[in-house]
Structure 1
Amino acid sequence: MIERLPLDEQLAALRSVLSRNETLLDVLERSAELDLPGWYVTAGCLFQTVWNTVTGRTPTHGIKDYDLFYFDDRDLSWEAEDRVIRAAEQVFGDVPAEVEVRNEARVHLWYEQKFGVACAPHTSTEAAIDSFAATTCCLGVRLGSDGRWRVYAPHGLSDVFGLVVRPNPLLAPRAVYEAKAARWRQQWPELTVLDWPTTA
């Protein structure tokens, strides 16, 4: 059981598993060419590739899109982010999946309107990843200039390999977590979904 291996072995297993998703590898390589500041490919395309492999499904089963996050607080206008998105469309135009590019320095400008709770400005892409609705989602991978993988996993990898969805009540409201978890369980019924914590 990979979730019980030492962390260094889990990291090796993660790279091996993710490498089975050829679309993901392509997105990683093209993202490295874009070289956006603080970039990571993150969230569902990573942990869902693991879920698919662990449960014997095809690597791309149920993956809605591929998230490419970066952090650039030099210009917080929508126009600046849109220029990056349009440049990325040229880079990813023939990838057989949607690649969603977002500047995490701008999240606080729209988060409350979309989710109903205020979001303090993020200080890095890593800080944005920290705030995902489930700790299982808190995962990012990027390629260094030397081709080495950089993995950001603030909550480790055991839950990812163990098919455990654990709430992360740092920012996202309970309803967001429960909606995501319900959608995931339809695609991966093997998941163990933990309840949102209650306060006394």
Structure 2
Amino acid sequence: MMDEEAVISMIREDPWMMEILTAAKTLDLPDWWICAGFIRSKIWDSLHHFTERTAIPDIDVIYFDPATMDKLEEKKLEEKLKCRLPDIPWSVKNEARMHIKSHMPAYSSSVDAISKFPETATALGVKLDEANNILLTAPYGISDAIHLKVKPTPFFKKKERMDIYKQRILKKDWRSTWEKLTIYYD
């Protein structure tokens, strides 16, 4: 049975994931995490017994720095990561400003931002601490991810956001890749 320690072990044993985590750590960003598909896809690939990694469109590195909310700073950080690992599709975002783009209330931290992601199975983040231990954050736990359930987070269960969740599910079409998924629409 998969649990948080098993997820952490899976990541620790994956040289590609560890190289990405190590690269992101070198930026020394405040309240940083790699989140969303980076972890979710690893879990779902494992539970589907895939021997090849499913391609993900980007590696989401988030951080929280209200002192520097310039979008150009994020692009500079992406360039630093591209110099280190040029074949990785980096996406760096300062969650201190992302609420503006998303038309949401201001976030208080990166973990608060993760808690406002559309799906519980995507509301996951990992990073390395000072001793290079893997830390996992999962505001709604990992149960939905490891039981292959796609559900809206409480934030997206609100009527005004449910359509965004539903459109995202249609656009992502995850069941075409991971057929064992169960998608919930309420």
Q: Shorter-normalised TM-score: what interval?
A: 0.7 to 0.9
In the TM superposition, residue 47 of structure 1 has moved relative to its aligned partner by 0.9
In the TM superposition, residue 75 of structure 1 has moved relative to its aligned partner by 2.0
In the TM superposition, residue 169 of structure 1 has moved relative to its aligned partner by 4.3
In 1, are the aligned partners of 2:12 and 2:134 still within 8 Å (CA)?
no
In 2, are the aligned partners of 1:133 and 1:177 still within 8 Å (CA)?
yes
Task: Quote the residue 2:175 is aligned against.
Answer: 185
Change (3 A) 1:55 1:128: same
In 2, are the aligned partners of 1:21 and 1:49 still within 8 Å (CA)?
no
In the TM superposition, residue 181 of structure 1 has moved relative to its aligned partner by 2.7
Unaligned runs of 5+ in 2: none
Change (3 A) 1:87 1:62: closer
The letter of the residue matching 2:166 is E
Over aligned residue pairs, what C-alpha RMSD do you find? Answer: 1.9
**Number of aligned residue pairs:** 181
Task: Quote the residue 2:92 is aligned against.
Answer: 101
User: What TM-score results when the alignment is normalised by the length of structure 2?
Assistant: 0.88
In 2, are the aligned partners of 1:141 and 1:151 still within 8 Å (CA)?
yes
Which of 166, 170, 173 is matched with 2:161 structurally? 173
SS of the residue corresponding to residue 41 of structure 1 reads strand
The letter of the residue matching 1:52 is D
In 1, are the aligned partners of 2:27 and 2:77 still within 8 Å (CA)?
no
Task: Quote the residue 2:29 is aligned against.
Answer: 36
User: Which stretch shows the higher mean deviation, 70-79 or 57-66?
Assistant: 57-66
Identity of matched residues, % = 28
Unaligned runs of 5+ in 1: 3-9, 112-117
Which of 41, 48, 61 is matched with 1:55 structurally? 48
- Distance in 1 between residues matched to 2:13 and 2:47, nearest whole Å: 12
Deviations 1:102-133 (A, max 9, x none): 1111112322xxxxxx2111111111100000
Change (3 A) 1:62 1:191: farther
In the TM superposition, residue 174 of structure 1 has moved relative to its aligned partner by 2.3
Matches within 5 A, 1:57-136: 57-58=50-51, 60-93=53-86, 96-111=87-102, 118-136=103-121
User: What TM-score results when the alignment is normalised by the length of structure 1?
Assistant: 0.82
SS of the residue corresponding to residue 16 of structure 1 reads helix
In the TM superposition, residue 53 of structure 1 has moved relative to its aligned partner by 0.5
- Distance in 2 between residues matched to 1:52 and 1:106, nearest whole Å: 32
2:158 matched to 1:158? no
In 1, are the aligned partners of 2:82 and 2:88 still within 8 Å (CA)?
no
User: Which stretch shows the higher mean deviation, 118-127 or 84-93?
Assistant: 84-93
